[in-house]
Amino acid sequence: MKQMKKRSLLTSTLLIVLVISMISACAKTNETPAASIQPQESAAATDKPAVKAEDPLGKYEPAIELNIARTNDNLKFDEGTSIDKNPYYDAYSRDLGVNVKNAWVVSGADAYNSKLNVAISSGDIPDLVSVQSLQFKNLVEADMVEDLTEAYEKYASEDLKKLMTDDGGFAMKASTIDGKLYAIPYTIPAIGTTKMLWLREDWLNKVNLPAPKTMDDVMNIAKAFANDDPDNNGQKDTYGFGVSKELFFWGAPGLEGFFQGYGAYPASWYTDSSGSIVYGSTQPQVKEALLKLAEMYKAGLIDKEFGVKDTAKVFESISAGKVGMFYGDFAVPWYANKDSIVQNPEAKWVAYPIPSATDSPAKTFIGSSVASFYAIKKGYAHPEVVVKLANYWVDRTIVNVDESLGSNKETGTQIYPYAIVTPSQAMEAVETYGTLKAAFAGGDTYDTSKFTSNEKFYYDNITAYNADRLNTKDTKILNGWIADRTYGEKGGVEVVDYYLKNNLYINTALTVSSTPTMAEKMATLNKMENVMMTRIIVGDVGIDEFDRFVQDWYKQGGEQITKEVNELK
């Protein structure tokens, strides 16, 4: 089997970005119980055109039609193209004989899941759907989706099989129920769940403080950012620390990194010192972090209205130069603070490993490698199509890179987000970081002729940025800043590389995406958790509320969930 190349033109990093809001929003969605679901027969079941047997990229002749559902978030289109007709859909038709039709399109993950839940409840879903774990479980239990076991065995390319097992087999196990494969997992680089502290270094220099290494340093920096006029406008209008009402967002500005500095891992399942799997939000280490947040809130270091401000509002504050520090993932420059550099080209954002509250370095958390699941409607004539679409993505973006499906070089419009089945590689970001670091260290003597397309793209744009750093309104310069902050010195992936090389991480202990009781009750328990923590932070209740929450959490389903998780380890 040929060795996989790296993903073309920004795709793997931005894939992390695209799923961040979906993961958070879906965690808050009221899912439809499986008992109310009744399957309907697919209209496509009687149409069975011939296909070249067991050819991973074989073309359907005559062509088949595939109805899907999707969101239109973050999608831009050149003249003459749209979400219904675009280069990726044209490529599917041309190369695979698959005519993709959008059954419906909505804006935002919340809207998508609400509409999909209605479709599931009515028993009438599109031919191919992207679903979250509870939706997936409900669909399988209601016999509404196809068993893909045979289709995967017959049609999956060797390259796809390698990608699907790069995470140690977690993704495929999560997609398997009672020994049968019911979905192709939407794999993401699990290292994208690691957290770090993003900070305005120009502000840090202004207030004359050292780089943060401890939680005391974080407190001192936050105080200075809130009180010492770091933006030099003569007004007390800045906050030391960015927080949104979605406390645990899996992206930015989440609080996971802050808690991890105290050895606490809320919203995560991990193995404790006794060998048992525990839910981090119920562990005693959480209390110290909550008390410190309450102290920061009382001191005015956190926006007093954070409890009603979503991530988009916090991004606006970051862009306006009102926030100087927050926790996030390595992909932060792609979505959280890029507009701040357009507004102020002299802003200098850098990433630091999580500062520790103890004498030992903090350890970050590495979560699941599965963001969602691609399933095929029961009765659809060609369930193998989802496997072939996954083969096509891997072939065109990793193995035999087709740059025309990455972006339009003339307009800069990104084309790859139009694709519909897009599993991602596990470690590409760290590999790209190592290549670019060596290239810039080597200077003119470094041989760049063997760069893959994405390495060349990043290298060229970083070079352009370094030559004209203040011209961030220019798209290429802005792209160079984004790439530099992701892969450059004091950038996000440098921190990830530091964690990996120094074993400063703990892995998720979950071996499945969900358990029966988790699927039924976890959404309610999550809401309880968010309310409890927010009330403690803003001072509505004391820290004793945490102990009451833990008791209620176990009584209202947490004990059974913990039992199920441990039985599956």
Domains of the chain: 11-189+369-418 (3.40.190.10), 193-361+504-567 (3.40.190.10), 428-501 (no CATH)
Does the pLDDT value for residue 8 go beyond 70? no
**pLDDT, tens only, 248-266:** 866 789 999 999 999 999 9
**Cα–Cα distance for residue pair 462/484, rounded to 1 Å:** 6
Nearest to 9 by CA among 401, 492, 339: 401
Displacement of CA 557 from its chain's centroid (Å): 27
Q: Tell me how crowded residue 502 is: count the other CB atoms within 10 A of its CB.
A: 11
**pLDDT, tens only, 279-317:** 999 999 999 999 999 999 999 999 999 988 888 899 999
Dihedral over Cα of 421, 425, 430, 435: its sign: negative
Average pLDDT on 514-526 reads 89
The pair of structure tokens assigned to 230 is 């770091």
Single-letter residue type at 85: K
Average pLDDT on 212-216 reads 96
Residue with tokens 């009672």: 178
pLDDT number for residue 42: 41
- Give the N- to C-terminal CA distance of the chain in Å, as an integer: 32
Q: Tell me how crowded residue 273 is: count the other CB atoms within 10 A of its CB.
A: 6
**pLDDT, tens only, 64-109:** 999 999 998 778 899 999 999 999 999 999 999 999 999 999 988 8
Residue with tokens 């679409």: 389
Average pLDDT on 340-360 reads 97
The pair of structure tokens assigned to 375 is 């399933």
- Contact partners, residue 341, CB within 8 Å, separation at least 6: 347, 349, 472, 478, 481
DSSP letter for each residue of 425-446: -SSHHHHHHHHHHHHHHHGGGS
Does the pLDDT value for residue 35 go beyond 50? no
For residue 507, report the phi and psi dihedrals to the nearest 5 degrees.
-95, 155
The overall average pLDDT reported for the chain is 89
Does the pLDDT value for residue 192 go beyond 70? yes
Contact at 8 Å (CB) between 166 and 426?
yes
pLDDT band at 157 (very low <50, low <70, confident <90, very high): very high
**pLDDT, tens only, 433-447:** 999 999 999 988 899
* Angle between helix 559-567 and helix 516-538 axes, rounded to 10 deg: 130
The pair of structure tokens assigned to 144 is 């509404």
Residue ranges with strand state E in 108-250 = 128-131, 176-177, 180-181, 184-187, 196-200
Nearest to 521 by CA among 561, 551, 567, 565: 561
**Cα–Cα distance for residue pair 385/92, rounded to 1 Å:** 11
What is the phi-psi region of residue 186: left when phi exceeds 0, alpha when psi lies from -120 to 50, beta otherwise? beta
CA distances from 490 to 28, 352, 361, 437, 497 (A): 34, 7, 18, 12, 11
Is this structure's pTM higher than 0.95? Answer: no
Q: Is 104 helix (H, G, I), strand (E, B) or coil?
A: strand
pLDDT number for residue 154: 96
pLDDT number for residue 478: 94
Q: What is the Rg, in whole angstroms, of the alpha carbon atoms belonging to the chain?
A: 24
Work out the percent of the chain whose per-residue pLDDT is above 90.
73
